[in-house]
Amino acid sequence: MDARGGAVTRADLLEFRAGTYAIQLVDRNRGIRNPQVLASTLSIMSKPDSPYADEEVGDSLFSYAYREGPIDAGDNVKLRRSALTKLPLILLRWIKVGTEIRYLPVFPVYVVADDPANRRVLIALDESLRQVSDPQHLTETERRYVQRMTSQRLHQPQFRSRVLMAYGNRCAVCRLGRPQLLEAAHIIGDKKAHGIADIPNGLSLCSIHHAAYDRNMIGISPDYRVHIGPTLAEADNEGPILEFGFKGLNNVLLTLPDKKRFHPAGDRLAERFQEFLTGTTHAHPTAPGAIKPDFQRITPVTMGTDLGATVFEPPFTDSPATQSP
């Protein structure tokens, strides 16, 4: 799954294999999977605007609506029984980016309460929530833990999957195409009120460029160019990663999503780039190794486009240069 950016196709779920055993993880026609051989539900699907979609309940839980019809018949029997068997199930988050549809598996999750009065079950995203006395009314310590786990198990993986899908599973800086090594970077950090987890506030970056971006060791200007900060620009004798993975990428244009609506938001890039410049004020624009953004040469690169001769420029020069593909 990680080789695909964390999200899988419906075909992957229909044809899943565990060793020599074939296990159909999703129903062909419904958003719930109740295999005959199991005593309780195997998987449930969360899809926006679906009558069976989950929603946040209180501090810690999600709800999943019963199927239509009697609460003691059909799929509702095994769904409600999940609260008694205490067996884990799979929550499948439906993701659509452009025309592509994927599913983000969240496993294990648990039905911790059956709520027939409201025709729903309550679902905990973390096994530890099964130990608290009242999942809907947590202590302050429990609440902080739950918020962290919900972010780690649900929000962050969903954001990563959406961003990687938009960027075609490639690093926007170096074009590395190994999803196992790719992460979703926030342009505006998620601790800020406007640091929302949407694609225009995200960048698909390999782990090393993500770490450098988070620490303002590299910056990305609103014209989609990469700028190497002086900490890296002035370093020497640290091997090929420094020379080619950083210095050699100075002034390179990002590889952008095919669809313009998924491009990084210019205002967010500008805000973040100002933080980068502020953090490197000791490098005056006319000093050796300084950053001199050129907002005139704007030729964004989209997925599938060869970087070609107009993209690579030697570090810290004002004149265009070429490099063979």
pLDDT more than 90, % of the chain: 60
The answer to whether 148 and 185 are in contact (CB under 8 A) is no
Tell whether 59 is covered by a domain.
Answer: yes
Q: Which helix (H) or strand (E) holds 92?
A: strand 89-97
The set of residues, in sequence order, having a beta carbon less than 8 Å from that of 259 and lying 6+ positions away, is 98, 166
> For residue 148, what pLDDT band results from cuts at 50, 70 and 90?
confident
The predicted model gives 131-152 an average pLDDT of: 78
Evaluate if pTM is beyond 0.85: no
Residue 322 is predicted with a pLDDT of 39
Q: Please give the Cα distance from 27 to 270 (Å, whole number).
A: 46
Q: 133: which DSSP letter?
A: S
Residue 60 is predicted with a pLDDT of 61
CATH, residue 26? 2.30.280
Asked if 8 and 157 sit in the same domain, the reply is yes
Q: 231: which DSSP letter?
A: H
Q: Please give the Cα distance from 210 to 276 (Å, whole number).
A: 14
The answer to whether 39 and 87 are in contact (CB under 8 A) is yes
Nearest to 198, CA basis, from 169, 155, 168: 155
Q: Please give the Cα distance from 154 to 104 (Å, whole number).
A: 9
Tell whether 229 is covered by a domain.
Answer: yes
| 236-289: pLDDT as tens digits | 999 999 999 999 999 999 999 999 999 999 999 999 999 999 874 333 343 344
Asked if 79 and 172 sit in the same domain, the reply is no
Nearest to 229, CA basis, from 119, 101, 315, 129: 315
Q: Please give the Cα distance from 150 to 317 (Å, whole number).
A: 46
The predicted model gives 219-246 an average pLDDT of: 95
pLDDT more than 70, % of the chain: 80
Give the residue, 160 or 52, on which the prediction is more confident.
160
For residue 121, the enclosing domain spans 2-163
Last residue of a domain, one of 132, 163, 194: 163
Tell whether 21 is covered by a domain.
Answer: yes
In this predicted structure, which of 113-122, 155-164, 298-307 has the lowest mean pLDDT?
Answer: 298-307
Asked if 218 and 293 sit in the same domain, the reply is yes
Residue 1 has pLDDT above 60, yes or no: no
> For residue 191, what pLDDT band results from cuts at 50, 70 and 90?
confident
Residue 298 is predicted with a pLDDT of 36
Asked if 172 and 302 sit in the same domain, the reply is yes
Residue 56 is predicted with a pLDDT of 64
How many distinct structural domains can be found in the chain?
A: 2
Residue 126 is predicted with a pLDDT of 81
| 55-86: pLDDT as tens digits | 666 656 788 999 999 999 999 999 999 999 99
Tell whether 178 is covered by a domain.
Answer: yes
Asked if 116 and 180 sit in the same domain, the reply is no
Q: Please give the Cα distance from 312 to 304 (Å, whole number).
A: 17
Asked if 12 and 158 sit in the same domain, the reply is yes
Q: Please give the Cα distance from 298 to 224 (Å, whole number).
A: 8
